Amino acid sequence: MITLALFIIAICGLYLYGKRNRKYWELKGVKHDKPLPFFGNRARSFLAQICITELINEFYWKYPNEKVVGMYGPFRTELIIRDSEISKRILISDFHYFYPRGLNKDHIEPLLRNLFFADGDIWRLLRQRMTPAFTSGKLKAMFPLIVERAEKLQLRALSAATAGTEIDARDLMARYTTDFIGACGFGLQSDSLQDENSAFRKLGATIFHRGPRDIVVFMLKEIFPTMFKSFKLFSAFEKQILHLVDEVLRQRNYEPSGRNDFIDLLLECKKKGTIVGESMEKIKPDGTPEVATLEMDDELMAAQIFLFFAAGFETSSSATSITLHELAYHPEVQSKVHEEVDRVLAKYDNKLSYDAIKEMTYLEWTFKEGMRIFPSPGFLIRECARKYTFEEINLTIDEGVRVFIPLQAMHNDPKYFDNPSEFRPERFDSANFDANNKYVYLPFGIGPRACIGERLGLMQSLAGLAAILARFSVRPAPSTVRRPLVDPKSSIVQSVKGGLPLLFIERKPSN
């Protein structure tokens, strides 16, 4: 009887715990859906029935007349932003209220102490030290490493074109991106474009693979963050990446090698010594910030390399393959891209170069249009650091409320982009682009927490697209799906389910 009573008490306690704070949006007069115990409104995303981006999109379109929409996660109260001016304040003008992403609530795993996941002083000091590592000069010095991979990309596409077989553009561009990361990140010749069973390619694929264990661990960390803080989301990958970084550092004797790759840039950052700056989190009694410090040790370097690998691998390969997919269905746009690529390369002895890529403006518009239709990050995420009031809607939210800015929905909202389903690169001609959409079109984010590698990612992606389109036309394959489904296991970075098969047809550049 005592055991049964304890069991009933435990179940009741868990039920009440799962229903805590479920009146938050009702009391504040914010439109929302009724939440479930434990899961809130997120049951389907946790069970991998729908990805979080699509779930946020549903809320966005369900309440078209609202500037904000309430949502409940299993542990946090959440708010979806439907207004570009409010987004602007969150990301820029009132950034000091929304500087955290809030992805590490009570414990930061070693690999997550990087620029994307870290908050507060760790983030600020890392950003302060690493920003100079992404100057135009340093990026230009990396470009020869990109050209080598772009040429191998052409060879792999040529083998498929010669055989007349379809090729998964998603896998093709992922292999190109993986080889780029190997060269520019680690100084390694991974050669996944030639080796079907490349170990480096498999390593990249494991980052975003979510098996049953990963889903359960993620759910437990969200619902009971303190109890399960020691459970690691990247346990298998962590050992491999730490070992790989250790090997590369020892080969270089912990000194820059002159390769101008990412590890060289981090070693240069480390040589500058302790990072010192004003604290975002600790204030002296007189109101001035305390001094914050951070050591760039090997583990912290490995965390940044993990980010370089994860962010570069998934976002770039997704964005470039989606662009090729759209070009396959829009031959008139593809013809314009071909004309520009041929014309610009003719000026540079038909060789890819940093300056040539900078001149391919229509190609850049096309790539940006691809990212508008299907942005790799389906949303931006922030957490309220202290009580904040949205004056125009008379809404005050508390510290800890998670905020979503739904890029996928806003990029495809006719309120911001006319006829959004139309693939039209000319939208990004400076003469046509609506300046108000500067705070809507945000594939790389904006403000102090914008992607530090935006220019590098853009350069690498455009080089890969130029290499393909200089030699090939792309067409839909027999198995191509016009509107591919989103993988329901996608997280912040969304990816398509089942790949993007296309036919690559060799072409001769026009004179």
Least confident of 144-158, 230-244, 319-333: 230-244
Q: Interior CA angle at 380 toward 446 and 275, to 5°?
A: 60
**CA gap 156, 464 in Å, rounded:** 12
86-114 burial, b for 16+ CB within 10 Å, e for fewer?
bbbbbbeeeeebbbbbbebbeebbbbbbb
Confidence label for 208 from pLDDT (cuts 50, 70 and 90): low
Instruction: Select from 364, 320, 361 the least CA-distant residue to 344.
Output: 361
Residues of the chain with pLDDT > 70, as a percent, come to 85
Q: How many CB atoms lie within 10 A of CB 267?
A: 18
Give the residue with greater pLDDT, 432 vs 388: 388
**CA gap 316, 504 in Å, rounded:** 20
Query: Does residue 316 contact residue 331 with C-beta atoms inside 8 Å?
Result: no
Give the residue with greater pLDDT, 314 vs 155: 155
* Edge-to-edge order in the sheet of strand 77-81: 68-72, 77-81, 402-405, 380-383
| Whole-number pLDDT of residue 138 | 80
Q: Answer left, alpha or beta for residue 290, where phi above 0 means left and psi between -120 and 50 means alpha.
A: beta
Give the residue with greater pLDDT, 40 vs 37: 40
Mean pLDDT of 464-486: 96
Task: Inform me whether the pLDDT recorded for 268 exceeds 60.
Answer: yes
Q: Answer left, alpha or beta for residue 36, where phi above 0 means left and psi between -120 and 50 means alpha.
A: beta
CA dihedral of residues 369, 53, 75, 304 (deg, nearest 10): -50
Task: Inform me whether the pLDDT recorded for 239 exceeds 80.
Answer: no
Query: Does residue 183 contact residue 149 with C-beta atoms inside 8 Å?
Result: yes
Surface-to-core class of residue 459, CB atoms within 10 Å of its CB (0-12 exposed, 13-18 middle, 19+ buried): buried
Phi, psi of 300 (to 5 degrees): -70, -35
Query: Does residue 180 contact residue 146 with C-beta atoms inside 8 Å?
Result: yes
Where does 19-135 have alpha helices with state H? 24-28, 43-46, 52-62, 84-88, 120-130
Phi, psi of 32 (to 5 degrees): -165, 165
- 384 known ligand binder: no
Q: Interior CA angle at 25 toward 23 and 29, to 5°?
A: 115
| Whole-number pLDDT of residue 105 | 62
Mean pLDDT of 407-431: 96
Mean pLDDT of 421-441: 93
| Whole-number pLDDT of residue 6 | 41
**CA gap 294, 297 in Å, rounded:** 9
Segment 283-293, tens digit of pLDDT: 889 889 999 99
**CA gap 145, 414 in Å, rounded:** 41
Confidence label for 140 from pLDDT (cuts 50, 70 and 90): confident
Give the residue with greater pLDDT, 464 vs 185: 464
- Contacts with 55 (C-beta within 8 Å, 6 or more apart), sequence order: 41, 42, 44, 45
Where does 105-211 have alpha helices with state H? 120-130, 136-163, 169-181, 199-207
Task: Inform me whether the pLDDT recorded for 327 exceeds 80.
Answer: yes
Confidence label for 9 from pLDDT (cuts 50, 70 and 90): very low
Query: Which residue's entry shows tokens 């996928």?
Result: 408
Least confident of 193-197, 392-396, 449-453, 493-497: 193-197
**CA gap 60, 25 in Å, rounded:** 16
| Whole-number pLDDT of residue 287 | 83
- Which helix (DSSP H) or strand (DSSP E) does residue 389 occupy? strand 388-390
| Whole-number pLDDT of residue 11 | 46
Query: Which residue's entry shows tokens 């125009």?
Result: 392
| Whole-number pLDDT of residue 13 | 43
Confidence label for 196 from pLDDT (cuts 50, 70 and 90): low
Query: Does residue 370 contact residue 319 with C-beta atoms inside 8 Å?
Result: yes
Strand pairing class (77-81; 402-405): parallel
| Whole-number pLDDT of residue 329 | 98
Instruction: Select from 341, 377, 374 the least CA-distant residue to 454.
Output: 377
| Whole-number pLDDT of residue 167 | 95
Task: Inform me whether the pLDDT recorded for 261 exceeds 70.
Answer: yes
Q: Is 502 helix (H, G, I), strand (E, B) or coil?
A: strand
Mean pLDDT, the chain, as a whole number? 86
Segment 198-207, tens digit of pLDDT: 655 666 666 5
Least confident of 125-139, 244-258, 429-443: 244-258
The dihedral built from the CA positions of residue 177, 178, 183 and 186, taken in this order, carries a sign that is positive
Q: Interior CA angle at 492 toward 75 and 185, to 5°?
A: 125
Confidence label for 302 from pLDDT (cuts 50, 70 and 90): confident
| Whole-number pLDDT of residue 325 | 98
Residues of the chain with pLDDT > 90, as a percent, come to 56
Give the residue with greater pLDDT, 61 vs 14: 61
**CA gap 146, 180 in Å, rounded:** 6
Phi, psi of 406 (to 5 degrees): -80, 90
Entry pTM = 0.88
| Whole-number pLDDT of residue 7 | 43
> What does each C-alpha distance from 179 to 116, 147, 289, 346, 422 come to in angstroms?
22, 11, 43, 27, 33
Give the residue with greater pLDDT, 76 vs 370: 370
